Structures are given as structure tokens and as C-alpha cells.
Amino acid sequence: MNSKNKDLAENKRTHSFPRTGKDTPVQYIKGVGPARARLLRRLGIETLEDMLFFFPWRYEDRKNLRKIGSLGFGTLETTLCEVVSSETITTPRKKMKIFELTVTDGSGTLRAKWFNQPYLQKYFEKGQQVILSGVVKGNPYGGGGLEMENPDFEVCGADDTLVHTARIVPVYSATEGLSPKQIRTLMFSITAAHASLLEEYMPKDILRRNNLIPLVRAVQEAHFPEEYTDIGMLNRGQSPAHRRLVFDEFFFLELGLALLKKRESIEQGISFTRKDDIVKRFVQGLPFDLTEAQKGVLREIGADMERPVPMNRLIHGDVGCGKTVVALAAMLRAVENGYQACLMAPTELLAEQHYINISRMAGGLDVSVALLTSGMKEKPLAEISEGTVRIVVGTHALIQEPLQFRNLGLAVIDEQHRFGVVQRGLLRQKGLNPDILVMTATPIPRTLAMTLYGDLDVSVIDQLPAGRRPVVTKVFFPSQRDRIYSLVRGELSKGRQVYIVYPLIEGSEKLDLKSAVDGAEALKKIFQGTRVGLVHGRMQRQERESVMALFTSGDIDMLVATTVIEVGIDIPNASLMLIVHAERFGLAQLHQLRGRIGRGGHDSSCLLLAYPPFSEEAKRRLKAMESTSDGFRIAEEDLAIRGPGDFFGTRQSGMPDLKVADIIRDTGILELARKEAFDLTGTDPHLRDYPLLKEAVQRRWKGRLELIKS
């Protein structure tokens, strides 16, 4: 089909959408058409509803456009003026092309400059009206006149006043072929014609209690704010319209979580009983006493496991607080009740370490433990399905392999935000509604835990075992190499062991970074007589295990590694860690790495070797590491530096996106929305009385809640 015919065919299909609804593909909306629909798709817009929910990222006040003669210096100004002339000049030395536009409005003239964008020439003609928005520069007394560098611009047409000037205008993210102004034009007609199609799904009393404006008004005003709306509030996402939209995003997120939780709570699970058998022997056999916090959490887990409803609990606590011991006790409770248990870890190395530790701890208990990773040649699938293996430790292979348990009773997930509701569901399908226990290795701020794990009950281990020493952390620069070497030597001479962590396995052409393989070679020469081992993610399992075993037994003094050692490795005699290119690591990652030391009651230190120049963000991360070792504070700082989107990647975890809402900024609204969502499912767990809400929540969760029974 040639493209003309194709357009015709697509036009024909218009007739199958006799009435416009929120699901109408955007191409059939007046003013869009197939070509623009393709561009809009790049912005994630498919339907009319998507379009209406595509909000501006900022607003500009064009009500009171300033005259050129009264523009302030150094401030962001917007002005409406007429093009006098334009030219492209090339700087003699650097051959840079500068496009210059001279404009006037009768009160003065202004020159706008754009660097290396000579194509701009074609946008402007003499006599045209343009709006320029940028920071005003130049010295009026120096003869140079007023200037703006790289201002935002819009060329005005004759009938633009209504949409593009003389009001607060929305500024949309653009895509090639579709400018912010074109989107604004489209949005103006679309909101006017179709916003009223959106049905109010939110119950009236929720709107009233939380002081929320109606949906249609919120959508209209988020696009084209009323005349007297405060521009600052708009740009901070705090106008009444934003408040409503933010509430809705959180509400649907929480409503989905509440429904999942509710669904599980009415399902039949396993009721484990306390047998005072294996678990008791295990706890008594430990070389230490459990902390009060560990005992408390174990009691909570025990109570959950006794109830005939599937457990869904999160254990939350800082690195080294002893989560694994608690999880193992829970697994043994399942085992002593005749069930199997599994533990799923995010990496192969961690699975291997858990396997080694658990096999050792379960050693005297006559419980058989197996490892399962996808890299293994011979997988213990038969032993697992027959039930001779009671505890399985593994990676994602646990949900990916065609694995059948004989009777899985408890699944433990050791994760670092890498797992979401959806994946937990998959694991649950491996058994008959087994109990689920999630351990987070990185503490996360309370608000985030509430959102990410809103369907889980939370236990906190807020106490470290006695004898832990704070780790002294300090940033070093390459010029201080000798100082670093002498600190390392000092620890080695006391019989301690050290970790040296690199960002890369091998040297790369593209990145000028130090690598573990090269580093190990260099370190062997520098520290003659020191037993140096190397471990990284691309090694064979056997090789990696034997290196780790040698480090554990003290037959290796210096372990050179990549971040594979981030979690789970537990060597009390290790008292120093050097992180090379520390500026390259994320904050949570640095904290996890540092958690490997300071475990044996020795004074320990973490040296962060940073290679300048590095970003402001990197500087903040390094500072945070120096100033605190409290995982919760680290997590909060991390969230503040990275911003919520990146931090918790809702998409990856299978939850609806937050487009308008900001977890940090809007915590208050999150709490309100959460309460309403959970209250609602408390009285109407199937949303029988709220068909519109039910449809809306399923739509936002993209079918992932389809299991909700009606």
C-alpha cells in the first residue's frame, strides 16, 4: 500500500469511531492526523486520554510582557517584539556560527544570539512578531545594548493572542517535528473540545475530605491556567489543579497496592505451627545472641506464619543488622513444618555466598540445602521437585527455570529495589500461596517504602549487633597515593584483610578508568609478598568460589573486586576498603560496599579515591559518605540527589508511572491518598460500588491487577 492509500485506509477507519471517547486514537482527533500521531507517539501519546494527560513541564507568564526598555538585568524575562534584522556570523578563531536576531518594540532594541544553530535563520523574517524568553545580559552604558543568549522563542501569528500570549502559557516537551508551540495549539483545541469527556471517577466524599477540585477542571487548568493563578505555584506543581492530579496518581498507585494486599489477605495460605524443633536448635547453636530487634522481628514473622493467610512481609534494616539470620530462622520454621523454603538473591555471587553461609549454619541441623543459578551446568531440579532438598538458594533462575517445588512454603527475596509486586507474584505461583518475606539490603526512606512496598507489612531491625565499630570514611585524591598505600600496609601488617574495589573488570578503550584486572597486577607489584586475589562477575563460578573461600579462610590478604561484592559478603577480619574511582559509584552502592567492613570489632576505614574533575552530584555523594554511616540518612540523601524517578523506577517494578507527582515534594498528599485508598478497600474490597474507579485503577496498572476478582 502506498502512503496515500494507507492514509485513506486510516481515514476510513475513522468511521469505526463514530463518537469520540477517551480511548479514541489521537490521530482521529481534529488537527492531528496520521503524521502528527506518529510524532505524538514518540511522546508516549496514543489516545485522546493520553493527550489530555500530557501536561506541560513549565509555565510562562505572558500576561505582563515587559517592554524592552524596562527589562531587568540578570533576570529571566519574556518580551514580545518585532524582528528588525538577522544575520549569521562566524567567529574568526573558533569558526563558531552565531545566529543573531535584532528586535525592537519601540521602547528599545534587543539582540538575541544562538550559538551553532545556523538553521534558525529560516524561522525568522523581518517584521514578524516574536516572543523571546531568556536571561537579559549586556551593559546599557557600555554601548553594547541588551542581549539574550539562546533564549526560548516563539514566532507569533496574527491570531495568536488567545493561545500563546497575554496569558499564562503552558510549555510542553517537544519532539523533532512538533514544537512546544504546535503542541500548545493542539492542546488548546483538544482541551476545549474534549476535556469534558473525562468522567469523574473519584467518589464525592474523597474529593470533599481532601479539598480536591473536579477532574475536568484540573485537567483544563493544568494546561491553560485561569488568569489569576499564581505562576510560582504552577511551576512548583502546587496549584489546585496539580494537587488534584498528584492526588490521583498516588491514589491509584496505593489503590492497586491495597487491592493486591486485600486479595492476598482473603486467600488461603499455610498455617505453620511452632514446633520448637529445628528453629530452636538453630538459634541456640548460634555463636551469638540475637539482638532485641531481631527477636522482635522474628516474633512478628512467627505470628504471620501461624495465620492461615499468606504472609507478605518486608524486613527493613541497615547493612549488617542481621537480616539473613532472621530470614533463615523463618525458612527453618517452614522446614520443620514439612515444607520447602527458598531464598532468591539479585546476583550469582550473592546467591553463592548465601548458599555457603546457610549451608554452614544449617550444617548441624540435618537440612539439605541446594544452589540454583542459570549458569549452572547441572541443576538440582529433580531433587527440588522430589523434595529431598529443603532449602533452595538461587538467583532469578528460581522464577525463570521450569522449576517445580514439591511444596514451597516460604519464599525469601533478598533484594535491592530490583523486585516489584509483579515479580513477587511470579514467585508466589511457584507454590501454593507460600509466605513471602522480602529483605531490603538498602534502607529506604519511609515514604518510599510505603509506596514501593505499600502492599507489604513492614518489620524494622533498627539495631546493629553489639561490637560493631563505625567505619571512618575519607575521600582521597590520586596525588595522595603514598598515604593510601601506607594505610593499606598498616592494616595488612596487623594481620587484617583489605578490599580494593574497581568500577570496571577490564581496561576499556572508551573509558579512561582503572580496572580490577589491571589493578590486581599493579597491586601485586606494589605490595610484594601480599597474597592478592581477584574476583569479578565474568569469572567462572568455581574460580570465584575458590577465591572467596581463600579470602574467608584468611589465605588471601587483599581482595581486588568489582561491585560483585556489594552485598552479602561477610568477612569480619577485613578492616579496610579502598574504592577506586569512588566518584563513579552511586550513593547506595557506596554504602553497601562500605557495609562489608567494620564487622569484626576492629577499627575500620573506608578510603574513597576520587579522580577529579567530577560533578557536583559526585561531590555531594562523597560528602554524604564522609559525614554519616546511617543507612536511612544515606538513603534520604540519595533520594534527594537522584530524584525519585531514577531512585525507584516504578516502571521496572510494574507499577503505574508518576508523571506529575513527586515523592519528596508531595509526601503529604501521598499519605492522604494512601489512607483513602486503604480505607476504601477496607469497606469495599472489590470496588463493587465504584465501577468507574475500578476501571481507572486497572487501566493505570495496565492489566496487572487483572487478578482482582469482582
Binding site for ligand ADP (CB under 6 A): 288, 290-291, 294, 317, 319-325, 465, 570, 599
**Angle of helix 587-594 versus helix 631-642 axis, rounded to 10:** 160
CA nearest to 353, candidates 402, 400, 414:
414
Q: State how far the Cα of 218 lies from the Cα of 239, in Å rounded to an integer.
A: 9
Among Mg ion, ligand ADP, none, residue 181 binds (CB under 5-8 Å by kind): none
Q: Would you state the cell numbers that stand for residue 225, as one nine-digit string?
A: 491556567
CA nearest to 270, candidates 305, 246, 235:
305
Contact 118, 100 (CB under 8 A): no
CA nearest to 160, candidates 172, 169, 173:
169
Of 289 and 555, which CB lies nearer to ligand ADP in the complex structure?
A: 289
Rounded to a whole number of angstroms, the minimum distance from the CB of residue 518 to ligand ADP is 30
Asked if residue 294 binds Mg ion (CB under 5 A), the reply is: no
- The torsion angle over the Cα atoms of residues 507, 577, 287 and 390, rounded to 10 degrees, is -20
Q: State how far the Cα of 511 lies from the Cα of 110, in Å rounded to an integer.
A: 44
Rounded to a whole number of angstroms, the minimum distance from the CB of residue 36 to ligand ADP is 53
Q: State how far the Cα of 645 lies from the Cα of 642, in Å rounded to an integer.
A: 8
Rounded to a whole number of angstroms, the minimum distance from the CB of residue 568 to ligand ADP is 7
Rounded to a whole number of angstroms, the minimum distance from the CB of residue 117 to Mg ion is 53
Rounded to a whole number of angstroms, the minimum distance from the CB of residue 468 to Mg ion is 14
Among ligand ADP, Mg ion, none, residue 575 binds (CB under 5-8 Å by kind): none
Which residue's CB atom is positioned nearest to ligand ADP?
322
Of 24 and 395, which CB lies nearer to ligand ADP in the complex structure?
A: 395
CA nearest to 323, candidates 216, 425, 416:
416
Of 300 and 570, which CB lies nearer to ligand ADP in the complex structure?
A: 570
Rounded to a whole number of angstroms, the minimum distance from the CB of residue 466 to ligand ADP is 6
Question: Which is it for strands 146-149 and 109-115: parallel, antiparallel or unpaired?
Answer: parallel
Among Mg ion, ligand ADP, none, residue 465 binds (CB under 5-8 Å by kind): ligand ADP
Of 79 and 552, which CB lies nearer to Mg ion in the complex structure?
A: 552
Rounded to a whole number of angstroms, the minimum distance from the CB of residue 369 to Mg ion is 16
Of 56 and 568, which CB lies nearer to Mg ion in the complex structure?
A: 568
Rounded to a whole number of angstroms, the minimum distance from the CB of residue 496 to Mg ion is 21
Cβ density class 233-272: b for 16+ within 10 Å, e for less: bbbebbbbbbbbbbbbbbbbbbbbbbbbbbbbeeeebbeb
Of 100 and 570, which CB lies nearer to ligand ADP in the complex structure?
A: 570
Asked if residue 340 binds Mg ion (CB under 5 A), the reply is: no
Among Mg ion, ligand ADP, none, residue 26 binds (CB under 5-8 Å by kind): none
Asked if residue 416 binds Mg ion (CB under 5 A), the reply is: no
Rounded to a whole number of angstroms, the minimum distance from the CB of residue 568 to Mg ion is 5
Rounded to a whole number of angstroms, the minimum distance from the CB of residue 501 to Mg ion is 18
Handedness of CA 174, 177, 178, 182 (dihedral sign): positive
Of 322 and 519, which CB lies nearer to Mg ion in the complex structure?
A: 322
CA 180 to chain CA centroid, nearest Å: 28
Instruction: Tell me the CA distances in angstroms from 690 to 204, 451, 684, 693, 694, one per residue in order.
Output: 11, 23, 9, 5, 6
Among ligand ADP, Mg ion, none, residue 354 binds (CB under 5-8 Å by kind): none
Asked if residue 442 binds Mg ion (CB under 5 A), the reply is: no
Provide the 3-class DSSP secondary structure of residue 407: coil
Among Mg ion, ligand ADP, none, residue 319 binds (CB under 5-8 Å by kind): ligand ADP
Rounded to a whole number of angstroms, the minimum distance from the CB of residue 331 to ligand ADP is 13
Instruction: Count the residues of the shown chain that bind Mg ion, applying the rule CB under 5 A.
Output: 2
Contact 610, 622 (CB under 8 A): yes
Q: State how far the Cα of 658 lies from the Cα of 665, in Å rounded to an integer.
A: 13
Q: Would you state the cell numbers that stand for residue 321, as one nine-digit string?
A: 543488622
Q: State how far the Cα of 364 lies from the Cα of 278, in Å rounded to an integer.
A: 10
Of 165 and 563, which CB lies nearer to ligand ADP in the complex structure?
A: 563
Q: State how far the Cα of 278 lies from the Cα of 287, in Å rounded to an integer.
A: 16
Q: Across 495-633, where does the E strand assignment appear? A: 497-501, 532-535, 558-561, 574-580, 604-609
Among ligand ADP, Mg ion, none, residue 170 binds (CB under 5-8 Å by kind): none
Spatial CB neighbours of 161, under 8 Å, sequence gap ≥ 6? none
Site for Mg ion in 562-591 (CB under 5 A): 568
Which residue's CB atom is positioned nearest to Mg ion?
324
Among ligand ADP, Mg ion, none, residue 645 binds (CB under 5-8 Å by kind): none
Rounded to a whole number of angstroms, the minimum distance from the CB of residue 499 to ligand ADP is 16
Of 191 and 395, which CB lies nearer to Mg ion in the complex structure?
A: 395
Of 345 and 487, which CB lies nearer to Mg ion in the complex structure?
A: 345
Q: State how far the Cα of 412 lies from the Cα of 416, in Å rounded to an integer.
A: 13
Q: What share of the chain is helix, strand, coil (3-state, %, to 5)?
A: 40, 20, 40
Contact 443, 316 (CB under 8 A): yes
Among Mg ion, ligand ADP, none, residue 33 binds (CB under 5-8 Å by kind): none
Of 327 and 532, which CB lies nearer to ligand ADP in the complex structure?
A: 327
Binding test (CB under 5 A) with Mg ion, winner from 24, 239, 312, 324: 324
Of 294 and 575, which CB lies nearer to ligand ADP in the complex structure?
A: 294
Interacting span for Mg ion (CB under 5 A) from 30-38, 189-197, 212-220, 321-329: 321-329
Of 37 and 327, which CB lies nearer to Mg ion in the complex structure?
A: 327
- Residues of the shown chain interacting with Mg ion in the complex, contacts defined by CB under 5 A: 324, 568
